Amino acid sequence: MEKPKTTLSRSEFLKRTGLMTIGGGLLGLAACHSSPQQTGSSSQQAAPSVASSSAQVAVAGGEVVEDPTHLPRVAADPSKLPPSPTYNSPQVHEVHLTVEETLAELKKGVIFRFMPFNGQVPGPMIRVRQGDTIDLHFTSSKKNKYPHNIDFHSVYGTGGGAVALTVGPGQTKHIRFKVMYPGAFIYHCAVPDLDMHISSGMFGMMVVEPPEGLPPVDREFYIGQHEVYVKPPVNDHTEALFDMESMLQEIPTYVVFNGAFNGLTAERYGPMQAKQKERVRIFFVNGGPNLSSSFHPIGNVWTHAWRDGGLANSPEKYLQTINVPPGSCAVVEMDLPVPETIHLADHSITRYARQGLRADIVVSGKPVPDIFNDHP
Amino acid sequence: MEKPKTTLSRSEFLKRTGLMTIGGGLLGLAACHSSPQQTGSSSQQAAPSVASSSAQVAVAGGEVVEDPTHLPRVAADPSKLPPSPTYNSPQVHEVHLTVEETLAELKKGVIFRFMPFNGQVPGPMIRVRQGDTIDLHFTSSKKNKYPHNIDFHSVYGTGGGAVALTVGPGQTKHIRFKVMYPGAFIYHCAVPDLDMHISSGMFGMMVVEPPEGLPPVDREFYIGQHEVYVKPPVNDHTEALFDMESMLQEIPTYVVFNGAFNGLTAERYGPMQAKQKERVRIFFVNGGPNLSSSFHPIGNVWTHAWRDGGLANSPEKYLQTINVPPGSCAVVEMDLPVPETIHLADHSITRYARQGLRADIVVSGKPVPDIFNDHP
Amino acid sequence: MEKPKTTLSRSEFLKRTGLMTIGGGLLGLAACHSSPQQTGSSSQQAAPSVASSSAQVAVAGGEVVEDPTHLPRVAADPSKLPPSPTYNSPQVHEVHLTVEETLAELKKGVIFRFMPFNGQVPGPMIRVRQGDTIDLHFTSSKKNKYPHNIDFHSVYGTGGGAVALTVGPGQTKHIRFKVMYPGAFIYHCAVPDLDMHISSGMFGMMVVEPPEGLPPVDREFYIGQHEVYVKPPVNDHTEALFDMESMLQEIPTYVVFNGAFNGLTAERYGPMQAKQKERVRIFFVNGGPNLSSSFHPIGNVWTHAWRDGGLANSPEKYLQTINVPPGSCAVVEMDLPVPETIHLADHSITRYARQGLRADIVVSGKPVPDIFNDHP
């Protein structure tokens, strides 16, 4: 499939062609909203405008949800992650991952069909030590419609394990592998439509610590970035349909941390918390599927940064903004000399300003005017 | 605000829809030129074609300039930058930054409303030493329409100082901070529409030298890259309006060094000058707001490169092209063994070929056929 | 030339405007298919629809090929590259490069006009040692239509040699230069339309080894990535025309390794071959012209990576995915502890999934269940 040249949002298209008339009467509209598989054109249908209608009409496969407030949260809690390994000899770990295609609110009023690992985006962090062995079990819910699998970047083996782990609805598969090299690695679905599945939140991180471990820090967080490509929803009760064409153009509708529009801020699930004088480490995974992140902490700096999650290398010091390619990771640390609110951002800053890519860390403590004085 | 799918330039749109007729008669045109806030459609108005008319008609908020040749230069002189600090104990610096929204010619025939710091793009370089304290005063001209502030990447504190520095027209604010870590850091406006303000040139660099200073070089330059998103101007006397939609798509109209289309070349303000056998350092800041730069010197190589402006790290050697994310910097050095003209470029090379991203350095001296012989 | 806002593929546009009618009758179509130089509009012409017709009609400059199966292969054999230099004193090398504009099948059914160096994409690898001298002869076939030249990133001198090497059809030019610094460097055409020429495959790599050489490995491969921007071909006998507008938007139709859609896989020219326990090195060049590559080996990891081709620096260890800017290179190595099929990919993964960016390495050997067990 080749990349189409462009798509127009319905309202944009209509404004430009003059097909939008006062009162919302529409001509030639239906094709704009049909999925790629549908070519029929029922231009007589009086389609409601996106903004003004809340009538629950199912169109083009979009599922209708009577009460979106009851939809589950998929945003992973960034403060829930496993501790650093403390054992002294290689271990064998039993790990169970599942996927269940799940409607959730990407943002208030936008219902999206996620494909989260174990119900969360990013999927659970798996944290082991170089030389350990993983017994990995992967199960697809019998409610699913799509095939799924997992590619671990921490695995030597075809597809990073994806071929052996390909499952249909209701199936479970099992592989065993030894982690041979250290680093922070993404895992993600790798079926032929992998870009769509990753864009539906199907990615997570495995941290393979080097034998000597990582330097101690006071607090750790776990954050994943990814892009969402959807058509405008008919209304806030109807699933927003995946937009294959905008994905082909790499022009997402939303770019988010932990699967929710500005999810880790006061406007949604609340900010992260930290304390003055702590050193904070962030394990960051960029699912993509397509865009690099320019990861930056507004009001702070990366004291240490392991570029591309390469824990076998010495970290770089005092970087403001670090490139994290899609399908890669970064491990970064901050010091907190003053109380402040830090805004995590992709410094492709329109994504931060307009597309949902915010996460806040509130640092409590006492002002240090010698370092930062906002009323001198 | 979500990313719209696409926009069409007027001429493109008309060609495609067949609405362009011989002689330039137009239908359904006005909406194409209206700003996002304007929805009125006066299709009876006989709008002039972009190319053929120079009639001064004000449309959609675009200001008309009787004599564009009198507009000020905003392109910063790349050879004007402060010297390296020579003092031996921490200093306190009084720094005054202002912003005045200013019409200037982005290129001949394209008038754009810049938001330059102290009248220049990039804003003045502030050059200090780790441990110094800055008394920063920020003033917004009373002629301005928009709120403004500054986020310094070199600051520990909420918003990098932006919250405390937010000013309306005619206001001044003041903060004091100590620079705690070394590096080359961007500063930029950070109001909610920060992407639009950065895209209007509202960014600059603060260099915080490490205690031991930087290695001596023979010559230094200061260059900033950023993207401009505008709608086609009605004519060369009328302000080209900002195009929010193309910014949302991260598809700029122009990408420029120091705020001018091929500004630092013979076709505009003239090239930079250097001499054979010198070592030249470039302080490079990528304002973005959205695109990475692949910064490359055509006909030369980066002898040393401090990636992401990380002066606390050892420089990398002999890099041809270095990724500089938006909201980041690079400090790079070149040796000049032969006379030549070096073209600075973003190696996303269509920007260099077509969108205004050129800056030249003319290296005077005597040919060294042993190294480069173009007539052997 | 500024970046236009967007383009619509013919079929997309027609679907959206309702101009596509049953039976393929078209209105206002011709302009969509004309090249930038052509403005005529013969809307009466009954153009066939893209999908349904195979009639051989020449339109808008697209050349018709009676038997595409006879078109030459341009995909460089990734296993053909020069050996590492073994001499102990600086040498002078005679190098002859040619370009001949050549129709070839980008993928089955898509004929594209390549501009390959010496008939291959990427052009031949030139492999020398720091301090060597190159006598470079460049010839343009007298069958060509366009001017051409070469910019070597390994050269100190204006345009990397491009000015002195600019040739018209049938011409030859000659320069001599000494390679002064080590690294893996792109060479590419650098005429004013250089983005179009690079996008037509006109790029290759020069490796300048440091005096001490590179560490020994068991096997080496040579891979180039680049983007292709074309309009939909009329049929599979007709040349797909270059699409300047999608290049201006940096939204390619195809992104490929070695100039062919999934070329280095079983579906086309066959995968690469390697053996268990070998160490494999890949010399990777990203021609662009515009997009960064996030280069990743599916099912493996980069044991060593010289970022940006910087062979003067120590390699980074155990990176999953490495950013390679357009106009840059990377030298990467893998270990092969288990038999597997490795898929090389750009982890902007839609390019891998849909746009032709696959290359496989089949690693033969005996399973090592201790490391990877897909049936535990």
Going from the C-alpha of B177 to that of each of A317, B91, B138, B209, the distances in angstroms are: 21, 12, 14, 16
A355 touches chain B (CB under 8 A): yes
Judged by CB atoms closer than 8 Å, whether chains meet at B177 and A373 is answered as yes
Q: What is the DSSP letter of C70?
A: G
d(CA A64, CA B78): 58
Give the mean model confidence (pLDDT) for residues A340-362: 98
- Residue C317 within any structural domain of the chain: yes
For C325, which of B11, B301, B321 is closest by C-beta distance? Answer: B321
Among the candidates A209, A244, A263, a domain finishes at A209
For A328, which of C243, C294, C373 is closest by C-beta distance? Answer: C294
Question: What does pLDDT average to over chain B?
Answer: 87
The pLDDT assigned to B248 comes to: 97
Residue A39 has pLDDT above 50, yes or no: no
State whether C201 and C337 are in the same domain. no
Give the mean model confidence (pLDDT) for residues B340-359: 98
Judged by CB atoms closer than 8 Å, whether chains meet at A349 and B328 is answered as no
d(CA B358, CA C277): 48
Spatial contact of A327 and B227, defined as CB atoms under 8 Å apart? no
- Residue B60 within any structural domain of the chain: no
* Residue range C252-287, pLDDT digits in tens: 999 999 999 999 999 999 999 999 999 999 999 999
DSSP B314-374: PPEEEES-EEE-TTEEEEEEEE--S-EEEEEEESSHHHHHHSS--EEEEEES---TTTEES
The pLDDT assigned to C3 comes to: 52
- Residue A344 within any structural domain of the chain: yes
Buried b or exposed e, range B101-140, using 16+ CB within 10 angstroms? bbebbbbeebbbbbbbbebbbbbbbbbbbbbbbbebebbb
Angle subtended at Cα B130 by Cα B285 and Cα B282, rounded to the nearest 5 degrees:
30
Question: What does pLDDT average to over chain C?
Answer: 87
Q: Which residues of A touch B311 (CB under 8 A)?
A: 318
User: What whole-number percentage of chain A has pLDDT above 90?
Assistant: 82
Selected residue with higher pLDDT from C27 and A78: A78
For C328, which of B8, B320, B372 is closest by C-beta distance? Answer: B320
The pLDDT assigned to C94 comes to: 98
H-state helical runs in B219-340 = 244-248
State whether A164 and A274 are in the same domain. no
Q: Which chains touch A (3 or more CB pairs under 8 A)?
A: B, C
Which residues in chain A (187-246) have CB-CB distances under 8 A to chain C? 190, 192-195, 198, 245
Q: The tokens 């590419």 sit on which residue?
A: C188
Spatial contact of A332 and A305, defined as CB atoms under 8 Å apart? yes
Give the mean model confidence (pLDDT) for residues C300-326: 98
Q: What phi and psi values does residue C297 have, to the nearest 5 degrees?
A: -100, 110
- Residue A88 within any structural domain of the chain: yes
State whether B243 and B360 are in the same domain. yes
Beta partners for A151? A188
Provide Rg for chain C, Cα atoms.
22
In 3D space, the residue among B66, B77, B95 whose CA is nearest the CA of residue B264 turns out to be B77
Distance (Å) from the alpha carbon of A159 to chain B's nearest alpha carbon: 29
For B349, which of C17, C194, C323 is closest by C-beta distance? Answer: C194
Cα-to-chain-centroid distance, residue A145:
21
B54 touches chain C (CB under 8 A): no
B&C contacts, CB < 8 Å: 185
Question: What does pLDDT average to over chain A?
Answer: 87
With bands split at pLDDT 50, 70 and 90, how would you rate the model's confidence at C337? very high
Residue B190 has pLDDT above 60, yes or no: yes
Give the mean model confidence (pLDDT) for residues A215-236: 96
Give the mean model confidence (pLDDT) for residues A205-218: 97
For C316, which of A175, A178, A313 is closest by C-beta distance? Answer: A313
What's the token pair of residue B280? Answer: 């030249």
* Residue range C19-78, pLDDT digits in tens: 222 222 222 222 222 233 332 322 323 333 333 333 344 445 589 999 999 999 999 999
Count of domains forming chain C: 2
A28 touches chain C (CB under 8 A): yes
Judged by CB atoms closer than 8 Å, whether chains meet at C289 and B349 is answered as yes
The pLDDT assigned to C60 comes to: 56
Spatial contact of C306 and C314, defined as CB atoms under 8 Å apart? no
Q: Which residues of B touch C290 (CB under 8 A)?
A: 348-351
The pLDDT assigned to A47 comes to: 31
d(CA C122, CA C186): 10
B271 touches chain C (CB under 8 A): no
State whether B248 and B279 are in the same domain. yes
Residue C155's closest chain B neighbor by CA? Answer: B299
* Residue range B108-160, pLDDT digits in tens: 999 999 999 999 999 999 999 999 999 999 999 999 999 999 999 999 999 99
Distance (Å) from the alpha carbon of B279 to chain A's nearest alpha carbon: 25
Judged by CB atoms closer than 8 Å, whether chains meet at B350 and C250 is answered as yes
Among the candidates C209, C244, C274, a domain finishes at C209
Give the mean model confidence (pLDDT) for residues B53-61: 44
Q: Which residues of C touch B371 (CB under 8 A)?
A: 156-157, 177-178, 180
Judged by CB atoms closer than 8 Å, whether chains meet at B337 and C182 is answered as no
State whether A156 and A232 are in the same domain. no
- Residue A57 within any structural domain of the chain: no
State whether B235 and B356 are in the same domain. yes
d(CA C127, CA C154): 11
Residue A178's closest chain C neighbor by CA? Answer: C371
H-state helical runs in chain C = 10-17, 30-33, 194-199, 244-248, 349-354
State whether C200 and C229 are in the same domain. no
C317 touches chain B (CB under 8 A): no
With bands split at pLDDT 50, 70 and 90, how would you rate the model's confidence at C15? very low
Judged by CB atoms closer than 8 Å, whether chains meet at B183 and A349 is answered as no
In 3D space, the residue among A246, A99, A108, A68 whose CA is nearest the CA of residue A173 turns out to be A99
- Residue A326 within any structural domain of the chain: yes
By DSSP bridging, strand C133-140 and strand C172-178 are antiparallel
Q: Which chains touch B (3 or more CB pairs under 8 A)?
A: A, C
Give the mean model confidence (pLDDT) for residues A350-354: 98
Residue B54 has pLDDT above 90, yes or no: no
State whether A253 and A324 are in the same domain. yes
Residue C179's closest chain B neighbor by CA? Answer: B371
Residue A349 has pLDDT above 60, yes or no: yes
Judged by CB atoms closer than 8 Å, whether chains meet at C190 and B355 is answered as no
Selected residue with higher pLDDT from B280 and A59: B280
* Residue range A118-166, pLDDT digits in tens: 999 999 999 999 999 999 999 999 999 999 999 999 999 999 999 999 9
State whether C153 and C289 are in the same domain. no
Selected residue with higher pLDDT from B50 and C63: C63
With bands split at pLDDT 50, 70 and 90, how would you rate the model's confidence at A193? very high
Among the candidates A181, A209, A237, a domain finishes at A209
Q: Which residues of B touch C153 (CB under 8 A)?
A: 296, 301, 320-321
User: What whole-number percentage of chain B has pLDDT above 70?
Assistant: 84
User: What whole-number percentage of chain C has pLDDT above 70?
Assistant: 84
Judged by CB atoms closer than 8 Å, whether chains meet at A327 and C350 is answered as no
State whether C76 and C184 are in the same domain. yes
Spatial contact of A31 and C18, defined as CB atoms under 8 Å apart? yes
Beta partners for C95? C136
| Helices then strands, each counted (H, E), chain C | 5, 21
Spatial contact of C117 and C135, defined as CB atoms under 8 Å apart? no
Judged by CB atoms closer than 8 Å, whether chains meet at C372 and A157 is answered as yes
With bands split at pLDDT 50, 70 and 90, how would you rate the model's confidence at B30? very low
A&C contacts, CB < 8 Å: 188
Judged by CB atoms closer than 8 Å, whether chains meet at C371 and A41 is answered as no
C348 touches chain A (CB under 8 A): yes
Give the mean model confidence (pLDDT) for residues C156-182: 98
Selected residue with higher pLDDT from A47 and A320: A320
Spatial contact of C166 and C175, defined as CB atoms under 8 Å apart? no
Residue C245's closest chain A neighbor by CA? Answer: A5
With bands split at pLDDT 50, 70 and 90, how would you rate the model's confidence at A88? confident
Judged by CB atoms closer than 8 Å, whether chains meet at B7 and C3 is answered as no
- Starting at the edge strand that comes first in sequence, how are the strands of the sheet with A203-209 ordered? A123-129, A203-209, A183-188, A151-152
C174 touches chain B (CB under 8 A): yes
Residue C101 has pLDDT above 70, yes or no: yes
ipTM: 0.86
Give the CATH number of the domain where residue A333 resides. Answer: 2.60.40.420
Q: Which chains touch C (3 or more CB pairs under 8 A)?
A: A, B
* Residue range C191-215, pLDDT digits in tens: 999 999 999 999 999 999 999 999 9
* Residue range B230-255, pLDDT digits in tens: 999 889 999 999 999 999 999 999 99
Query: Could you give the 3-state DSSP secondary structure of residue C14?
Result: helix
Domain coverage including residue B309: 219-364
With bands split at pLDDT 50, 70 and 90, how would you rate the model's confidence at B13? very low
In 3D space, the residue among C183, C87, C80, C155 whose CA is nearest the CA of residue C125 turns out to be C80
What's the token pair of residue C332? Answer: 């990467």
Query: Could you give the 3-state DSSP secondary structure of residue A127?
Result: strand
Judged by CB atoms closer than 8 Å, whether chains meet at A31 and C12 is answered as no
* Residue range A287-302, pLDDT digits in tens: 999 999 999 999 999 9
Q: What phi and psi values does residue B330 have, to the nearest 5 degrees?
A: -145, 145
d(CA A309, CA A306): 5
By DSSP bridging, strand B279-288 and strand B219-228 are parallel
Q: Look up the pTM and report it.
A: 0.88
The pLDDT assigned to C25 comes to: 25
With bands split at pLDDT 50, 70 and 90, how would you rate the model's confidence at B223? very high
Residue B35 burial class via C-beta count within 10 angstroms: exposed 0-12, middle 13-18, buried 19 and up: middle
What's the token pair of residue A256? Answer: 């988010």
With bands split at pLDDT 50, 70 and 90, how would you rate the model's confidence at C123? very high
State whether B188 and B283 are in the same domain. no
* Residue range A322-339, pLDDT digits in tens: 999 999 999 999 999 999
User: What whole-number percentage of chain C has pLDDT above 90?
Assistant: 82
* Residue range B287-313, pLDDT digits in tens: 999 999 999 999 999 999 999 999 999
The pLDDT assigned to A53 comes to: 35
Judged by CB atoms closer than 8 Å, whether chains meet at B348 and C175 is answered as no
Spatial contact of B149 and B165, defined as CB atoms under 8 Å apart? yes
State whether A236 and A161 are in the same domain. no
For A183, which of C320, C323, C348 is closest by C-beta distance? Answer: C320
Judged by CB atoms closer than 8 Å, whether chains meet at C2 and B253 is answered as yes
Residue C164's closest chain B neighbor by CA? Answer: B374
Judged by CB atoms closer than 8 Å, whether chains meet at C177 and B17 is answered as no
d(CA B40, CA B34): 8
Spatial contact of A128 and A122, defined as CB atoms under 8 Å apart? no
Residue A69 burial class via C-beta count within 10 angstroms: exposed 0-12, middle 13-18, buried 19 and up: exposed
End-to-end CA distance of chain A: 60
The pLDDT assigned to A205 comes to: 98
d(CA A142, CA A140): 6
- Residue C62 within any structural domain of the chain: no
What's the token pair of residue A214? Answer: 């990582």
What's the token pair of residue C21? Answer: 């009618």
Q: What is the DSSP letter of A158?
A: G
Residue C14's closest chain A neighbor by CA? Answer: A31
What's the token pair of residue C228? Answer: 């292709």
Query: What is the sign of the dihedral through the CA atoms of A159, A160, A164 and A166?
Result: negative
B345 touches chain A (CB under 8 A): no
- Residue C119 within any structural domain of the chain: yes
